[in-house]
Amino acid sequence: MKRVYLDNAATTPLDPTVVAEMTNVMQNYYGNPSAIHALGREVRTLVEKARKTVATLLNASPSEIFFTSGGTEADNTAIRCGTAAYGIKHAITSKIEHHAVEHTLNMLLKDGVIDKLSFVNIDEKGNVDYAHLEELLENNERSFVSLMHANNELGTLTDMQKVGDLCEKYNAIYHADTVQTMGHYTHDVRQLKAHFIVCAAHKLHGPKGVGFLYVNNSIKIPPMIYGGAQERNMRGGTENVYGIVGLAKALEIAYAEMQEHQKHVQGLKDYMKDQLIAEIPGISFNGETDAEKSLYTVLNVSFPEMDMADMLLFNLDINGICASGGSACSSGSNIGSHVLNGIKADPNRPAVRFSFSKYTTKEDIDYTLEKVKMVVKQNALA
């Protein structure tokens, strides 16, 4: 059976060039990068070369890049250590952030690290109300703002420049969760005014279990993980050397091929959207879908009410379609997607997130459309 992978927002397949780069390191470079002997020094060189590659692509200083185990650790470090370093008691976020942000802020509130957690208003498409954000900033003491660049379920983009300008105006610290957009858009940290941005390599055809945190050199934070002196005393633990090398290579490839891949993927997304509208009555979409307002790798489809709606993803899976999704809360026993709940999506309409990559083909989309139409027809309400 043909298998089509359309869950790239969850993780992406490794680029073969990345695999080759990592394999070379695994086979030939085994010294501990903290060791002072020759084998250790040559491995340290690989780590610092990767750091410089990442920094150059972001227009950052290498001293602002800290390697982590992924996006979740990077988000946690930014939030927990950023609030602690400056004694910040008020945080601002939205109700559709990734759990790495939402759960961390809720725990800080529960533990009394922060006294107040405010939620900026969002509309039915997941757009931030910037006027409300400014009200929250001006009516409170110094704040910590955590808002993602692109929503991982909806694809709706937030204007990082606008958020950064507001944070600068009110002396707030700004953390942007850029996990979904790193490698898909350029991030010039000298223009963005964000104090923290993050990366998970596996979202851009790199390896799982490695990422980075950018920390603007205007602020200083304590480490979250203590131990050795790795990452300039900011993260104890022996470095994931081949992962770090793979991350840098994946980001380098993403930047080199970004324009080409964006055009390819946006074309597939637009084609799938148009075909769904033409072929399935009552279809709609969660989040923004216009190219200027939406992450081009994500399309969240809101299907008409149907029998066995909770089996939609399973039925797609047995027909060879790998996707993800859910629904808004429809009962006390089903908490549903907190993102769809946050935009007040119809709980009776099942939602599927299709997410694309540079390896997705038009043939993949045509096959998916064929199976989607079949499954929807089979489960249509009588």
Pairing of strands 351-355, 298-302: antiparallel
Q: Cα(175)–Cα(148) distance, rounded to whole angstroms?
A: 8
Name the residue with tokens 């004694």.
Answer: 87
Cβ(193)–Cβ(167) below 8 Å = yes
For 149, phi and psi rounded to 5 degrees? -70, -50
Q: Is 141 left (phi over 0), alpha (psi -120 to 50) or beta?
A: beta
329 is catalytic: yes
For 156, phi and psi rounded to 5 degrees? -60, 130
For 144, phi and psi rounded to 5 degrees? -110, 120
Contacts of 273 (CB under 8 A, 6+ apart): 285, 289, 299
Cβ(37)–Cβ(31) below 8 Å = yes
Q: Cα(141)–Cα(171) distance, rounded to whole angstroms?
A: 9
DSSP code at position 201? G
| Nearest one of 359, 247, 254, 261 to 21, comparing CA atoms | 247
Name the residue with tokens 């009962």.
Answer: 331
Cβ(35)–Cβ(47) below 8 Å = no
Name beta bridge partners: 334.
331
Of 81, 167, 199, 329, the catalytic one is: 329
Catalytic residues: 329
